[in-house]
A = this chain, B = another copy of it.
Amino acid sequence: MSFYQTILVAIDLNEDADRVIQKAHEIGLQGNATLTLIHVTEPLSYAYGGDIPMDLSEVQKQLHERAKLRMSELVNQHKLRAVNQLLVSGHIQTEVHRVANELSTDLVVVGSHGRHGLALLLGSTSNGILHGAKCDVLAVRV
C-alpha cells in the first residue's frame, strides 16, 4: 500500500473551499499525509492593462492580508493540525505545478468548478493542471 503522503490542496477562498479541504483531509488521514493549502492570487497588474499608470501595491497588499486571514479561518474551522499554508502570487497553473514539484506532492486536490475550477484543471490551451501534473489529481465537485 502506498497511501498519499504529501497532498497539495489548491483552493479559492470562497465557500467551496470547505468541501475541497474536507475531502483532502479525509484522504490524507489514511496515510497520515502532510497537507499544504495553496491559494494563488494573480497579480492585479495581469488583469489591469496598465495604460494609465497607477500604483496597485497597496490594494494588492490588502488583498494578500485578507487572503491570509481567510486561510487561517479555514484551517481553524477544519481543525487541521500541522498544515502548511501558502499564499502565492503568480499564474495559477504555473505556481501549483511549481509547488507540487518542490514538495514532491503525490496528490493535488482542487475544486472542479468555482473561480478557477475547470479552467484551472483543463487550461485554456494545454497548460491546465491535469496536463502538466506529475502526480494524481483529484477534482472535487463543488
Interfacial residues, chain A to chain B (CB-CB below 8 A): 1-3, 22-23, 26-27, 29-30, 112, 118, 121-122, 130-131, 133-141
Contact = CB atoms under 8 A, between A and B. Distances in A.
3 pairs of A and B residues whose beta carbons are closest in the complex: A137-B139, A138-B138, A136-B140
Nearest to A137: B139
A122 B112 contact: no
A137 B136 CA distance: 11
Contact of A30 (B30, B118, B137, B139): B30
A interface SS class: mixed
A45 B79 CA distance: 55
Contacts of A136: 23, 112, 138-141
A131 B141 CA distance: 10
A24 B67 CA distance: 34
Of listed A27, A130, A134, residue having the most chain B CB within 10 A: A130
Contacts of A30: 26-27, 29-30
A71 to B, nearest CB: 22
